[in-house]
Every structure is written in C-alpha cells, then in structure tokens.
Structure 1
Amino acid sequence: MPAPPKISVLLPVYKVEPYIEECLDSLLSQTSIDFEIIAVDDSSPDRSGEMTSRILAQQSRIPWKFIKNRENKGLAETRKIAAQAARGEYVLCVDSDDHVHRDLIRRVIAEADTHHADVVIFAAENISPEGTINYRVETGDAIISGVEAVERILDLSLQAYCFNKLVRRSIFLAIEHPTGLIYEDICVSVQTLGKSEIVRLMPDTLYSYMYRESGISTRFNPNIVDLFAIMDRVEKSTESLPIRNYRRLLFRLKYIYGYRTIAFQTAIKAPTYRLAKPILCSVADKLRLAHLVGMYSDHRPKLSIVMAMLKIHPWIFYCFVRRFGRG
C-alpha cells in the first residue's frame, strides 16, 4: 500500500454543477502531488457528484476517493465524513465552487514542515464571477500559539473561515462539528486553533472564493439566527483557555460581530419588513443597555447608536439600515 499523502483535501460537493470543473482543475494541476482528494457528494440534486467522480476518474496523477451521502448531511458533517476517510497528516477544506492557487499544496507543506505547525493559515481573496477582486482576507506573517490565534479571532483581526487553514487531521477529528447550523466555520476554527500549539500565519494569497448573486451568503437566509447558537458554542469552547482580556474579546465577537451581523444582514437582505421583523425582534430582546454601552466603550459609537434604534423599535432600525447602513 502506498505511503499516505501529506495532505487530504476535503471537498464537499453540493449544487455546484457550473463550478466544479474549474475547482477540480485547480486541484489536479497542483505543482505538488503529495496530497489526495476526498470528495463527498452530499446528496446533490444536480450533476455535481457525477461530474466530480468522472473528472477524478479520468486522471491518475492525484489519488482520490469519492463518497456519496445517501441523504443531505450539511457542510460540517460532510467535511467530517471526508476527514474520517482521509489518510493525510493534515486536512485542507476546499469549497467546491472556489479554486486554489496552483502552488497551494507545495507552499503549505513547506510552511508546516519548516515550523512544525499544527495549523497553517494563508491569505485569500474574494472575487466576482468576472474576476474582479472584491476584497482580500489578510492573515499577517507570524508564528503564534493556538491560543493567540483564538484571541485574534475573538478580536476580529483574524477571519474564522475553514477554507484558508491547513489543519493537522488528528486535531480536526477531535473537535465538535456543528450539524445543521450555518456559520459553522467559526466553531470549527476556534476549536482547532484552541487545541493547536503552533500556528503559522503566511501572507501569501493562495485561495480564491467566489461572490455569486445566487449564493447563500448573498441572499436572505432566516437561519442567520444560528449565529446565536454558534456564539454560545464558541463561548463554551473558549472559556477555559488562558486568553488575555477574555471577556472584552468575547464581547467583541459575540455582540459587535454576531449580533450586528444578524441584525444588519437581516435588514439589508430581507425583501420585506414582515420577514425581517421576527429576527430583528429576537436580537432586540437579547440586547441590554450594558451591550450598547460596551459597543460605545469599544470605540464604536455609531454602532451603539444604530443598535439602540433596534432596541427602541425594529422598524426604525430596518428603515435606517435600508437607507443608510451597510453594517
């Protein structure tokens, strides 16, 4: 039996028929071959799974496995299924409607080996279908501890995406993967980093993820309230870590990011106030004067004022954000 590869690419496949070929091409044309692809068709209703297995079978350069879920499991559970079938020392999550730099595998292996890293985090870019760069996900250039990396996520200075993180597989398998919730990347990243000793931040842009008008991140999704549960799970998984200024940093992630995201994204994307109202009311019910004061104390006076509008009445907040605010 051949030696296990250094990296296992975890590739959940679901409703990506127009994009899967480009994604696979970026993986199959890597400069390094020290990896495998574990593709999992999450009971996709289109031809995504069929196309994936056919494209992988047409080549012999990169080892691969293809798994089909009998029923839809969701992103977090599907990644876990892929990781359980993997053999690599590290796992790398790739979304099947994105594509990666052709030197990604070689570069992250070199960084992991050089620094004996448990996690390697690299920069990424968000691009439009026309190829325009909307914004970059920066990481910095450093070697830090896992706890320091968690601190940076709580501080909102490091993004919690899974797709730009190479993670030791033993750590990835040892954490809870929240099933049935969106924004699950936050939970997964915080837990993996919390269990890691050495984290390498590299500034190179090695991943491109797509902005699509039809994507889940661009349309109104009532499940955005899952962020309440995600924030609670993050608190549970971080409260025992030796994090400096823990309460202040947790406040920043939970309220300045979490509550703000739920409220602003709902107001911006919900097509009518009737649809937005139940979600906005749920945020308003949880908001306390102490939270508004905390936002002001965190040098975010404008956010404090706008969230006060939400507390006074969701309709006032909805109208203001629709006209002036973009979060």
Structure 2
Amino acid sequence: MPRLSVIVPVFKVQGYLRECLDSIVGQSFTDVEIIAVDDHSPDGCGRILDEYAAREPRFTVLHLPSNVGLGRARNAGAAQARGDYLLFLDSDDSYLEGALEAVAAQLEACGEPDVLVFDHVRSYWWNGVRPSVFGEQLAAPGTGTASAFENPDLLRLFAVAWNKAYRREFYQHHAFAFEPGLYEDAPLAYEVMISARSIGCLPRACVSYRQRPQGAITRSPGRKHFDIFPQYESLFAFLDARPELDELRPVLFERMISHYLFCVARPDRVRPSDRRAYFRAAARHYHRFRPTGFRPPGGIEGAAFRLLASRSYTAYATLENAKRGRRSLLKRARRGRHALGRPAYRMYYRLQRRLPLDKRLAVYSAYWDRGVTCNPAAVQRKCAELVPQIHGVWVVRRSAVPDLPPGTDYVLPRSRRYWQLMARATYFVNNVNFPDTVVKRRGQIHLQTHHGTPLKRMGLDQQPHPAAGMDFRGLLRRAARWDFSISANPHSTEVWDRVYPSAYEHLESGYPRNDVLSTATGQDVLAARDALGIPQDRIALLYLPTMRDYRKGFVPLADLGQLSRQLGEDFVLLVRTHYFYGDDRALLELHERGLLVDVSRHPSVEQLSLASDALITDYSSVMFDYAALDRPMVIYAPDWAAYRASRGVYFDLLSGRPGETPGALARTEDELARVFTSGAWRGPEAEELRRAFRERFSTYDDGYAAERVVRRVFLGEDVAALPPVVPMADRHPAPPARQAEPPPPPKVPLRSLP
C-alpha cells in the first residue's frame, strides 16, 4: 500500500500537463501512486497520460467515457486510491521540489492527523512568484494538531482541494465527495475541516499554483460562476444534518459571504451585466443562512456585508466604484496613450470600423509583410480553389512589391486602403502577428498559421532567456485576437497551448506549406532541379542554418568553400541564409566561383527542398518540414551549448535518441565532411532516426493541410467532417531526383496523308 495517492484530474491542459506530471514523478519521495483522470479531454491530454503510464509503473490512467467536470473526476480518482493519504493536484499546477518528502515527514511528526494543510506559491505567466498570505498561520502550530472547534481560524486557510493531504480512512468514513459544477472544492474543504478531529499544518510551500492569463475556468466570466450558490447550499445542508457543528456556523457564514463579495467584484468572474442578479442571489443566501446574532466584520468589508444585507445593489456598486476610482482613471490614461498611428488615419480607421464587414474579403500577410509565402500563401491558393468568391489581398512592404506573383492584389502597410481593409475584412491570415494598431471587430476571424515547429523556446517560455527581449503583455494581447491556431504535430499543439494562452481553437491540420512536399511528383522534383541548374546525377545538399539571437548578421560556422572541395564533384552545395540577414558578400563570391549555389533569395523553401537530396541544418524549423519528404537530414551544430543557453530549447536535438535527433550528427567541420564521404548521412542508423523523427513531427503533414484549414475557417465545416489524416504508411512523398523518372518525350504528330 503506497503512503501517498496523488489524484490529478485532467481536462484541456495539454500545454501544462507534462510539467505537472514531471513534478510528481520527479519527487525525491517515491512511495507514491499517481492516479490521472482523463475527463474526456478533447485535446492531446489522453495521449500524454498514456505515454507516462507506459513508462512509469506508479502511474494509473482513468479515461472517462464522457466529460463529468473537475469535481466528479476527482471523485473517480479517489475511489481508486490505495494510499494512506490522498492528495489532489490540479493538472496545470505542479509540486515544488521536495514537496512530497516534506508532506510525508510532517504527517509522521504530527502523529497521522486526519488532515494536513500545506502552503503554496502563486506562479505568474511573466515568471513572477509570490508567496501566499498563510505562511505565518501555518507555521504557528509547529507539529501540534487541533480541530476547527479548538482553532476556528483554521477555517480561514485557503479553501481549495490541492493544499491538503487527507487521511484516506477518514475521507472514506465520512463519504466526502466533490459536487458537480464550479467552486466544487470550497464546500468539501470546509466539510473536511469541520469534521476532522486533528488538523496539522506545514508552512513549507509545496504547490506552485499557476495563475494563467487566460483559460483558467475561474478567470473566465460567465453565468457558470453562479454555481457558487448551490455549492454553499450543499455546505449548509451538511451543517443542518449535523447540529453538533452549529458552533462553527458563524465563521462558515462569514467565509461564504466574503467569497460571494470577492467574486461579484471581479470582472473576470461575474460579468457587469450579471452583477445585479448575482448580488441579489447572494443577498438571498445572506438572509437564508445568517446565524442568529451574526455581526458583520468591521471596516470596508463590513460595509459591503451590510449593503448585501440591505439588498441595496445601487449603494454597493457606488461603494465599489469609489474603491477602484483612482485605478480606473489610471487605466484610462494608459489606454489613451496607445494612439493608432497618425491622427488622420486613426480617425479614418475608426470611421471605417463603423461600416459593415465584407464577408468576401480576406487579408493575408507573412513574415512581417515580406511577401507571398509560407503557410498563408498555401492557404490562399486553396481558398481560391474551394471558395473562389473570397477575394484575398496581401499586405506587403514596398521592397517586396517587385517580387510578387503576377496578378497579386496587394496593399502597402499603413496606407489609406490598408486601414480600410483592416476595418472591413472578415478574414485575417498571418504567420506572425498583425500590428498592435489593428483592432479586432466582432465577426472578424483571425487565423494564426505560425511558421515552424518549435525547437527553440517560444512565447511566454522565452522569459527566462537572455535573448527574449519582447513585450510579453503585448504578445498576450495579440494572441487574444486569434480564433484559430494551426499545428503540424501534437508537440506544437502542446507548446502553443502554454506559450500563447488564449481561447483560440487548435487546428491540428498540418502545415499548408508542406502539402507540396507530400503531393509533388518525380517530374516536379526534376523541374525544381532544372530551374536551379542542378544535374540529375549530382547529390544536392541544402544547407539551411538558422539565425542566432546572441549575434548579429550571418556568420558561417563552417568554411563552406573548403567543405565544397572536400565533398568533391559528386555533390553540389545549396546555401540559404535566414531571411533576417541581407546578402552576404562572402557567400556571393563563393557562388560566383562555382563552389556553391547561393539560394538565399530564392522565393520558395519548399521548391529548394524538393530539388535537394538531403538537408544540412542546425536548429532551423525547416527540419520538421523536411521530415515530410522522408529524405536524409544531417545536424551540424558546433555552437549547441551557446544556442541552448541563449534561447532555450524543448528537447535535446543532439541526444541521438529516436524522436529527438533526425539523422547523422556533426559538431565540427571535419565531422561534417566525413558524414558525407563515409556515407553515414544515409546509413541505416540515420534512416532509423529519421523514421522516428518523422513519426513524431510529421503527424498531420499528409498533403491535405490547406484543405482542412480552408474548410474549417472559411467554410465553417465541423472538425469531424474534415479530410481525415492519411496514415504514415499510406503516404508517398515526392521521390528524390535519382529515383524520379524523367518526363516522356513529346509525341510527334503524324503527318497528314496527301
């Protein structure tokens, strides 16, 4: 029988779940069983839980057939528990290092109490950590225990499920159970505390209580917050059935009313339009459950109690307005400083936003207005095919105009027509973010396509790293405009969920730009090589290094001329620098000398990929796209330690483990040359690594990504009706040039007989 049973209810937290589970599995105290309850989560949570269960014998997963809610999911887990003590951990929170060892030690020191209450910290998305206000109160008893009758102030501790260890026999004897609905842990917390004969305290912070900017149910306004009233009704029904507990009724009543007043004052819980109705419901409970002789607390809090007792919402609202008046004035002043560009355009944009939306208008942009490319371009092509009545306009910078495809309708940023389009268009498609000056109207739909699978840390995960240098609050405001976010694989979905927390819908469609890699033919491959002048009998190596946050400009980490000479005549080296860098003179000189082909300004990475026989890269996300081709990849990473330290990464690319390393590795120039001259680049070991990498990261890249996106976003089709993902075994990516059959010679027409 394990000492501790940790029960984790799980629903739509795929971006945080691994951190939560790792915090349990990695504890120094190991006499623990972990019961994870998949509450019919629609995202990747069930798959993640099964991964942990497959490798961790202490792990049990319950997959519920339907969604039952947080409380009932906890009940399902508790029913399976075998430990001496039960602990509940919410799946977006985590245990701090050494937490369970400290809990186990304090349980023994306190003489096996019915309940042990421990401390926590609040962890904020900007990496802020704040201690709770309960530290001194929890430290006061030492290893002594008391009941709530002996120390009623114990009922003023945080009334949640996850800051306590419950003796299982005590818990089961009283048949404790969470009620359905929101605020389910408050009544149970109080019922447990008033029923316990011995309550111990642990002042050590054990839980990191995540304060999510969006997505947490308690921070999502709506009528569901009225669930709090039946929850407290259940608590007072519990009291009514146990008259021996009446002595504690006044303090529980005071805690209930304080909870009501806390919620009604918060716009992230109770909407202003619902506030009067909420206040009235709270007032009814005030009169229904008020104990005889109850006296409100003093100060401003007591004034709110008295206004609730008098059922005077108008007077209460006046009090609240006075309390936050100065804060509101400061907020309005800050908002006033965010001007939308030049005054004339600002006024024009505001006027245009009063006009109806154009349901047939879509605005596209890519890479900060650099041209028609990447996922947005693939989406537009498919949209023109499936929804031809929707007209697409591209936002492009002036320098990109000469390279636009013929017939492209475009607009320059911040021009008069630009503001008109941004005000009137219905659809917005970008692989980065539209500027902060863009105001999202009701009815407008924003599609975030992204432009790569994340190896390096992204979004909020960049905060601890020195190369971040961004406005993270602004990032959250921009992500809040998204309605849809594209994922190429489950790894991306998990990361986007955490680093861009908002209410958008994940489109696990694959990357539209990669469709061509799965649907191209051998003749398309030969055409791509012909366009670059690459003979069919030469092995084309595409070298695509990424940018470095810790240095400026393109600095080659290999002598490319020397590498070309070492490879010999059988190989041709294609080199493409990151789009952040301009033309490189040294690279152009090598190109002119015929030692390599500089393709830095080639408009399509996809066409370069088709033309090549293998990829050389370091940390570029192109490796995840290239995997769809099922061709060899070589990682050349001489500065892995510096890159990893400056930017942070999600996994060890150089580990050599299947699913992390996509092929052969080289850390020096000599190693890189030997990888090719020895044949290791396409040997059996490299092939096996490539297969595992492809299975992990090419999950949805089957050639139908753009169609899924267009049907969901532009045609509004249900997810279940979209084209299903083609199994990996049934995919047939474009063959390399040496396997491609040349096109048949043109047929010569027969001459007419005389």
Opposite residue 263 of structure 1, the aligned amino acid is V
CA distance in 2, matches of 1:270, 1:251: 21
CA distance in 2, matches of 1:81, 1:134: 32
The answer to whether the aligner puts 1:278 opposite 2:282 as a matched pair is: no
The TM-score, its normalising length taken from structure 2, stands at 0.38
Corresponding residue to 1:124 among 120, 124, 132: 120
The answer to whether the aligner puts 1:28 opposite 2:25 as a matched pair is: yes
- Tell me the CA shift for residue 224 of structure 1: 2.2
Instruction: Tell me the equivalent position of 1:162.
Output: 161
Instruction: Tell me the equivalent position of 1:253.
Output: 255
Closer, same or farther: CA 283–200 of 1 in aligned 2, 3 Å: closer
- Tell me the CA shift for residue 40 of structure 1: 0.7
Opposite residue 172 of structure 1, the aligned amino acid is Y
- Between the two proteins, the alignment pairs up a number of residues equal to 314
* Conserved? CA contact 1:123–1:137, under 8 Å: no
CA distance in 2, matches of 1:243, 1:319: 37
Closer, same or farther: CA 45–140 of 1 in aligned 2, 3 Å: same
Corresponding residue to 1:58 among 40, 51, 55: 55
- Tell me the CA shift for residue 304 of structure 1: 3.9
The answer to whether the aligner puts 1:180 opposite 2:180 as a matched pair is: yes
TM alignment of 1:183-262, pairs within 5 A: 183-214=183-214, 215-238=216-239, 240=242, 246-255=248-257, 257-262=258-263
The answer to whether the aligner puts 1:136 opposite 2:138 as a matched pair is: no
Post-superposition Cα deviations, 1:92-142, rounded to whole Å, max 9, x if no partner, equal: 101110110221222211221232222211111111023212441525132
CA distance in 2, matches of 1:19, 1:268: 21
Closer, same or farther: CA 5–73 of 1 in aligned 2, 3 Å: same
* Conserved? CA contact 2:118–2:163, under 8 Å: yes
The answer to whether the aligner puts 1:93 opposite 2:91 as a matched pair is: no
* Conserved? CA contact 2:29–2:100, under 8 Å: yes
* Conserved? CA contact 2:114–2:166, under 8 Å: yes
Flag structure 2 segments of 5+ consecutive residues without an equivalent: 326-754
CA distance in 2, matches of 1:16, 1:134: 23
CA distance in 1, matches of 2:300, 2:170: 40
The TM-score, its normalising length taken from structure 1, stands at 0.84
- Tell me the CA shift for residue 270 of structure 1: 4.1
Corresponding residue to 2:4 among 2, 7, 12: 7
* Conserved? CA contact 1:220–1:270, under 8 Å: yes
- Tell me the CA shift for residue 243 of structure 1: 5.6
* Conserved? CA contact 1:11–1:94, under 8 Å: yes
CA distance in 1, matches of 2:118, 2:259: 24
Opposite residue 181 of structure 1, the aligned amino acid is G
* Conserved? CA contact 1:177–1:187, under 8 Å: no
Instruction: Tell me the equivalent position of 2:751.
Output: none
Post-superposition Cα deviations, 1:162-206, rounded to whole Å, max 9, x if no partner, equal: 111011112333334243222221222222233333221011111
Q: Mean Cα displacement is larger for which, 309-318 or 74-83? A: 309-318
State the secondary structure of the residue aligned to 1:210.
Answer: strand
- Tell me the CA shift for residue 90 of structure 1: 1.0
State the secondary structure of the residue aligned to 2:213.
Answer: coil
- Tell me the CA shift for residue 316 of structure 1: 5.1
CA distance in 2, matches of 1:148, 1:225: 30
* Conserved? CA contact 1:153–1:190, under 8 Å: no
Flag structure 1 segments of 5+ consecutive residues without an equivalent: none
Opposite residue 14 of structure 1, the aligned amino acid is F
CA distance in 2, matches of 1:137, 1:100: 18
- Tell me the CA shift for residue 80 of structure 1: 1.3
Q: What RMSD over aligned residues (CA atoms) do the two structures have, in Å?
A: 3.0
CA distance in 1, matches of 2:219, 2:105: 35
Closer, same or farther: CA 299–287 of 1 in aligned 2, 3 Å: closer
Closer, same or farther: CA 137–80 of 1 in aligned 2, 3 Å: farther
- Tell me the CA shift for residue 232 of structure 1: 2.5
| Bigger relative contact order (CA 8 A; separation at least 6) | 1
Closer, same or farther: CA 176–86 of 1 in aligned 2, 3 Å: closer
State the secondary structure of the residue aligned to 1:38.
Answer: strand
CA distance in 1, matches of 2:10, 2:30: 22
Closer, same or farther: CA 219–279 of 1 in aligned 2, 3 Å: same
* Conserved? CA contact 2:183–2:228, under 8 Å: yes
* Conserved? CA contact 1:147–1:194, under 8 Å: yes
Closer, same or farther: CA 38–230 of 1 in aligned 2, 3 Å: same
| Pair member with larger Rg | 2
Post-superposition Cα deviations, 1:141-176, rounded to whole Å, max 9, x if no partner, equal: 32223334883354x2x1221111011112333334
* Conserved? CA contact 1:150–1:193, under 8 Å: no
Opposite residue 25 of structure 1, the aligned amino acid is D
* Conserved? CA contact 1:145–1:199, under 8 Å: yes
Closer, same or farther: CA 309–276 of 1 in aligned 2, 3 Å: same
* Conserved? CA contact 1:101–1:207, under 8 Å: yes
Opposite residue 180 of structure 1, the aligned amino acid is P
Post-superposition Cα deviations, 1:291-326, rounded to whole Å, max 9, x if no partner, equal: 7xx88x444242343455565653553465356349
Post-superposition Cα deviations, 1:246-265, rounded to whole Å, max 9, x if no partner, equal: 3432331232x233234323
* Conserved? CA contact 1:268–1:321, under 8 Å: no
